[in-house]
Structure 1
């Protein structure tokens, strides 16, 4: 008997069906405009953009402009790329414009889909950011889709690491800007460390379209972006501790693989203490439990984690003598990313690499809080429904499943579970060889570099030709994935192959078309595409006859989404294909999270060697284990966000304050208010309200005024006057301080004084904010222990973080007042001293240069010969010597001291 919910869905359709149905009217309007737009020439498309832009900026809603904008964009894409968007692609674009996540299967053309809402929203002139997962895709998509935007009269920019500030500013000023999530976040932090408005790159956060939105907003959201600066170098300590770890035995520590944590046992602590004393790391008579030992304990724990939880070629690789982290979700290298709290240094010590100093945080933000800055956010991916709850709760994003252009024909087999890893890999090799012999292209998914290379060696032993794609070959990623659909191709890949380039049967037509267009830009793109597609047909048919792409996964990932991404590489655009997962009881997920009941069932069946159990029930059991892990990871991210929200409110206040200061022409009122508050605090401290004159500490106040305001005031005499109270004293100090600053402003000149005030304010805010971030980090690391006292750690953190923030603002007022009180205009003596110092430094540098030149080229003196053809009266015969080069006249003097003075 059908449930009420099932019956209702049959009658009314699901919520997703209703959303899809609601867009059909809009798609119909776009299609109805096609003949009109097709009739326009190329200049007509650009003119239509200008008309739409004027209407948008005059206040017409973007929803009203959508049909015309989408129709114009579709025609531009057809002309520029030879691609005409399907109706389902227009639907995906509509959902993105509405601020949703469009879940579109692999091969449905998400890159093109993003151009529609990007074009529409860029009409406002506020800019649109399209976010990709790596720099290669950002550059590729900007170049590829830039042709569409150019045909529409819009500009396209791309942001990537190591650009100059001018290049970044120009890229952000474009109508549409392609960038990675990392670069966007770092640029936001960098901008809020600048001291001039003109140096800021980003121009606001209007609308972002996030490609592979689940990877960026879910997988990477656990790690905040941090800009840091070097701290104290402790290389010797890391190396000394690293030598101790291999001497530990299993009984000295315990590993919890579920939480990825490792701790010392009591026996381990005692043994470690003895070792540390013997090696001279821990002073005699000092225990590991003493407060003075905190730093050593911290480093020892990180050393243990580096050895027991971080494996080479799984969590990281060593490349050119440097430890480079591997993204656990995509298998890609994360260049420039470092583990915090000394863990990265501990791994460098373990691998014998150069140990870079630890860092202190200068600025940080989580991806959750960065992307919530946007007025409107949307995203697209092939796999989002399993995380719909998190998208809704954290980002307010709905997930809409967009129908495929053609029905999915892929066959998904049930998981095959073997007893041991050895049996599993034997079966994997058999399956690969079987598919290879009939010409079926095979994509083999692995979870680490180590496993992909082990499988590669096994295939080499069997004589099967194949490609390997992991972080070591990331430069060749597009080419390897592009070739993965060719007849008989075997590609072993980490999760990298789950993202980016399409695997197309018979090879990637788009890559061939792009190469051909670049080689022959004069020919019509549609003509080039038609020719290459005709050549490609025979190769595609052969692969289809062989069964399409076979995706063979050698392990299940913690997240169902990652598995679905890999599976989704096969069966694009209605292509045939199949997917299968080969597992064993030794796999990490099965061993750590798999139900004990499953193990009992498998062992109870008395399975023979090389025999697998294949049953839908096994799939369900594994999915339940994955759902548990996903739920736990969601909780971790939610907790991270709750703590970061506290800091985020403070971050917004500070960053807004900096912006207001940079925008202001005159800060004298702000500075004056700060000074007056400092005076009020001093008077309250040394002349507490409702106290008698005998209880006042005028000596202490005098010393504090000298320190804070750089003034020697007769406060004791004032206090001895009849009828004087705290308010009178406060007014007199404020008046004297204001007069002193007015005199300074006159001496500096008003414009110079305003500049000094601005720089002092910004520098002091930055210094105080950095110190505050460090304090919050320390608070965060200890506040968890409050739970033992039955107090909520989050509430404790909020309360204390607010108190620390208020304390920081008090310190800010005092520091700004003290620094401004001590600045003074440069006197003539100061200027002369600086000029003399610079002249001495210049003379020393020139003497070094002369000595170096003499040693290289032999002595040059009065007997040096003039350059042939030199005519003292004709500068054209002098050549083009450098200012510090010998003069071509042969005098032996430098050119700048000889004829160069005349030139």
Structure 2
């Protein structure tokens, strides 16, 4: 079967080849239009944009305009940028317009390809987002390609960190907006915390083109975007739980040091329940009741802190603070904190000041964020190995675009060494030999630590080299641009998303920018530019004679795709080149995932010290190891997405409700429905359907009705009437509360009561949604334990998250009803409608963890301590002990457990 498939592919071509060939007719139509478009003046060319938009308004489709629009972009690019799109770039543009992924080799001009689909889709006037992997590329591409768009009569904006709100709004209002995946995602979350449509910065999503799509939608999708803010102080809870956990013995928990996990035994659970109950921290008697989710979470974290984390090994106490120790380097990690309350648990353990943890205000995964775009496309040099995941998660097809010129790079077999020392000696020797011969060398490493180690080796040997620092993208671009110069040696950790080609002989534009920065325009500068161009051309020929760019990999990455990205830096636009990977048994990939027995036998059978071997079995073992890691990482991303899908359904409901409320002039019908439902549920709670009146909890009904509605109802009198039932109670209560609210509204000027209802509804939604997210976080952290009871954690999470969501909606209804019913309008002249506002940026921290470095690669804003949301009135003297479910003696109208008796 395999032989027949291979034979058929040789005769008919692959399905990818046939698909690309099918686009040839469209490319020919574009080329046929070129003479006609070339004859237009600049003004006539610019006027084409208005003409296209008019034709769209008259009913033409974007596909009808494609050949002419692409021809206009190509001509505009020739006049403004001095670059003409190749035919294969036209194919790439068509693929992007169709909402697919264009896999194009490095140096094939992906940035220019995007202009075709971006311009065409921007004609609809709904905004197009171009997503880049770092802020430098967002600025650079917006300025560089912006020249072309503006020449064609379109507006361009760029979203970068710390951009003022008004400028951010203008950037999103532009026809084309450049920005990073983080900025687009965080702006979406922040917009859904706003209280008016006018203060939101984004428009409804239309079309996005994602550059380095594999990096954004695959690698970075392993960690979600999170906006968090400071929570109220829970110091007493941490201290109480810490004291409780310190009373546990070894029989009360099970510790697995290899897996770094710990959990309560059955006896330990019973003991913890008793201790929590004695401390007044447990609702009911069952630790795993849904009301105790937060307490369970804090108990588990305290257990980890007290029994698993060791002082002077995992952390130290310095200047009254807990400082984490990096387990790999042994260095102090100043400023870093463990999440999910673990850091606070360690602070309680060591009796230092406990800093409030940040609470999640909003979060979303990249998968669910980008799936909100009606049309999504992407481009990268390496997507084929992840094509199945792209289709499975995003429904995106991957299309391999042929290169403009045949690839002349030679990819040599991997060289395998016994140990790391032998390998690094061979690497240094290969670099020195190539550099001496004038061949530029790009060295790829898998970590910053390995880069520093190799740099030390090269310094010892006297080999000049540059090391890329991923934290300074602009400097990085200048280093990459000159990595193709004669004899240059460049060490890079991760070559994905650099955005700059390595041109043999060097890059003229970057040399002009670096060497002639202070020179004014004039004949003298033109002479210098001509000199640089001549030098670069001569150097390019010398590098070609030396064999082109030599890409040297110091070990295999976890993903084949990252190796291919590194390899793809050589052989740009038909240039000669060479690539080779150096490996050893000490490499992380082979040490953790490799077939050790097979490899050890091969290595020790006949291999001398310092000698290398090449064998197809080794290559097969490496590929198998990489596939294992890729499969594991895919499972992680899919697992994250499955749990986020549960929250995403709820997030959509809440955000849609918020938008409806913001867009409505009045929400009195919604508020009225909430009020009716709240009172109906209240009555049925204390007077259940089917129960006789003498079985009703009349005192409970009176107490709860007074708390929720602020009314003292004559329930005892109603019970004396004949044919009394729950419906009569419900309707009379609803009528009384409605009449009271109408009287309040009449005291205010026209419209002010409606505005008040709207603001209270939004505030209640936000407050309860924030609490709900915290509860879901805690539930998620402990739900995995359900597997021990032969229950599927995802199913259990889905079921309980839905129950929590239903409970949250009920709480929102009660909040709004109680607030409006108990509100007192004193002085109509002085009464001001409180204007809600989203948390200020200084109170919010944006977080997205880089899956490669483990560091926060976003732009956190340091939280500042602020006043608590609501100060409590003092308890009256001599209040004495109060039942947790009794009304609080302070007169707030809440139960004691929700007021002065709250544990958090």
Q: Shorter-chain TM-score category?
A: 0.7 to 0.9
Q: CA deviation at 1:584?
A: 1.1
1:404 corresponds to: 403
Q: Cα RMSD between the aligned structures?
A: 3.6
Q: CA deviation at 1:126?
A: 0.5
The verdict on how the C-alpha distance between 1:449 and 1:538 changes in structure 2, with shifts beyond 3 A counting, is same
2:263–2:300 contact (8 Å) kept in structure 1: no
Once residues 672 and 774 of structure 2 are traced to their aligned partners in structure 1, the CA distance between those partners, rounded to angstroms, is 29
| Aligned positions of 1:142-181 closer than 5 A | 142-181=142-181
1:876 corresponds to: none
2:11 corresponds to: 11
Q: CA deviation at 1:475?
A: 4.9
2:325–2:332 contact (8 Å) kept in structure 1: no
1:138 corresponds to: 138
Q: Secondary structure at the match of 1:131?
A: strand
| Aligned positions of 1:66-145 closer than 5 A | 66-145=66-145
Q: CA deviation at 1:124?
A: 0.5
Once residues 316 and 766 of structure 1 are traced to their aligned partners in structure 2, the CA distance between those partners, rounded to angstroms, is 42
2:262–2:308 contact (8 Å) kept in structure 1: no
Would you say 1:638 and 2:644 are equivalent positions?
Answer: no
Q: Secondary structure at the match of 2:362?
A: strand
| TM-score, normalization by structure 2 | 0.81
Q: CA deviation at 1:829?
A: 11
Q: CA deviation at 1:230?
A: 2.0
2:134–2:473 contact (8 Å) kept in structure 1: no
2:195 corresponds to: 195
Q: Secondary structure at the match of 2:606?
A: coil
Q: CA deviation at 1:639?
A: 1.4
Once residues 441 and 421 of structure 1 are traced to their aligned partners in structure 2, the CA distance between those partners, rounded to angstroms, is 24
Q: CA deviation at 1:822?
A: 2.3
Once residues 829 and 59 of structure 1 are traced to their aligned partners in structure 2, the CA distance between those partners, rounded to angstroms, is 55
1:262–1:304 contact (8 Å) kept in structure 2: no
Q: CA deviation at 1:264?
A: 6.8
2:811 corresponds to: 811
Range 221-230 or range 290-299, more displaced:
290-299
2:775 corresponds to: 775
1:481–1:503 contact (8 Å) kept in structure 2: yes
1:510-556: per-residue Cα shift (whole Å, max 9, x none)?
43577889988899x99999986555211211111111111111111
Range 449-458 or range 713-722, more displaced:
713-722
The verdict on how the C-alpha distance between 1:229 and 1:631 changes in structure 2, with shifts beyond 3 A counting, is same
Q: Secondary structure at the match of 2:751?
A: helix
Would you say 1:732 and 2:738 are equivalent positions?
Answer: no
2:622 corresponds to: 622
Once residues 195 and 692 of structure 2 are traced to their aligned partners in structure 1, the CA distance between those partners, rounded to angstroms, is 47
1:296 corresponds to: 302
The verdict on how the C-alpha distance between 1:311 and 1:601 changes in structure 2, with shifts beyond 3 A counting, is farther
The verdict on how the C-alpha distance between 1:47 and 1:473 changes in structure 2, with shifts beyond 3 A counting, is closer
Would you say 1:505 and 2:497 are equivalent positions?
Answer: no
Once residues 537 and 182 of structure 2 are traced to their aligned partners in structure 1, the CA distance between those partners, rounded to angstroms, is 40
Q: CA deviation at 1:599?
A: 2.0
| TM-score, normalization by structure 1 | 0.81
Q: CA deviation at 1:54?
A: 1.6
1:665-708: per-residue Cα shift (whole Å, max 9, x none)?
01111001100111111221222222222223333222222111
1:695 corresponds to: 695
1:709–1:737 contact (8 Å) kept in structure 2: yes
Would you say 1:205 and 2:211 are equivalent positions?
Answer: no
The verdict on how the C-alpha distance between 1:461 and 1:728 changes in structure 2, with shifts beyond 3 A counting, is same
Once residues 555 and 385 of structure 2 are traced to their aligned partners in structure 1, the CA distance between those partners, rounded to angstroms, is 19
The verdict on how the C-alpha distance between 1:620 and 1:575 changes in structure 2, with shifts beyond 3 A counting, is same
Q: CA deviation at 1:213?
A: 0.4
1:26-64: per-residue Cα shift (whole Å, max 9, x none)?
111111111111111221122101110122233311111
Once residues 474 and 384 of structure 1 are traced to their aligned partners in structure 2, the CA distance between those partners, rounded to angstroms, is 23
1:315-373: per-residue Cα shift (whole Å, max 9, x none)?
99989x545xxxxxxxxxxxxxx863257889999xxx999753211111000000000
1:89–1:113 contact (8 Å) kept in structure 2: yes
Once residues 735 and 156 of structure 1 are traced to their aligned partners in structure 2, the CA distance between those partners, rounded to angstroms, is 56
Once residues 64 and 527 of structure 1 are traced to their aligned partners in structure 2, the CA distance between those partners, rounded to angstroms, is 47
The verdict on how the C-alpha distance between 1:439 and 1:387 changes in structure 2, with shifts beyond 3 A counting, is same
Structure having the higher helix fraction is 1
Q: Secondary structure at the match of 2:229?
A: strand
Would you say 1:461 and 2:460 are equivalent positions?
Answer: yes
Q: Secondary structure at the match of 2:484?
A: coil
Question: Which one has the largest radius of gyration?
Answer: 1
Q: CA deviation at 1:772?
A: 1.1
Once residues 672 and 315 of structure 1 are traced to their aligned partners in structure 2, the CA distance between those partners, rounded to angstroms, is 61
2:465–2:491 contact (8 Å) kept in structure 1: yes
1:291-331: per-residue Cα shift (whole Å, max 9, x none)?
78533223358857996799869899989x545xxxxxxxx
Q: Secondary structure at the match of 1:495?
A: coil
Q: Please, which of 246, 250, 262 is the counterpart of residue 260 of structure 2?
A: 262
1:675 corresponds to: 675
2:446 corresponds to: 447
The verdict on how the C-alpha distance between 1:25 and 1:490 changes in structure 2, with shifts beyond 3 A counting, is same
Q: CA deviation at 1:755?
A: 1.2
Once residues 653 and 52 of structure 1 are traced to their aligned partners in structure 2, the CA distance between those partners, rounded to angstroms, is 37
Once residues 698 and 586 of structure 1 are traced to their aligned partners in structure 2, the CA distance between those partners, rounded to angstroms, is 75
Once residues 717 and 160 of structure 1 are traced to their aligned partners in structure 2, the CA distance between those partners, rounded to angstroms, is 67
Q: CA deviation at 1:580?
A: 1.0
2:504–2:543 contact (8 Å) kept in structure 1: yes
1:302–1:343 contact (8 Å) kept in structure 2: no
Q: Determine which structure has greater relative contact order: mean sequence separation of CA pairs < 8 Å that are 6+ residues apart, divided by chain length.
A: 2
2:218 corresponds to: 218
Range 784-793 or range 437-446, more displaced:
784-793
The verdict on how the C-alpha distance between 1:828 and 1:368 changes in structure 2, with shifts beyond 3 A counting, is closer
2:366 corresponds to: 367
Once residues 436 and 528 of structure 1 are traced to their aligned partners in structure 2, the CA distance between those partners, rounded to angstroms, is 28
The verdict on how the C-alpha distance between 1:303 and 1:829 changes in structure 2, with shifts beyond 3 A counting, is farther
Q: CA deviation at 1:67?
A: 0.6
Once residues 255 and 519 of structure 1 are traced to their aligned partners in structure 2, the CA distance between those partners, rounded to angstroms, is 64
Range 155-164 or range 779-788, more displaced:
779-788
1:854 corresponds to: none
1:313–1:449 contact (8 Å) kept in structure 2: no
Q: CA deviation at 1:750?
A: 3.2
2:491 corresponds to: 492
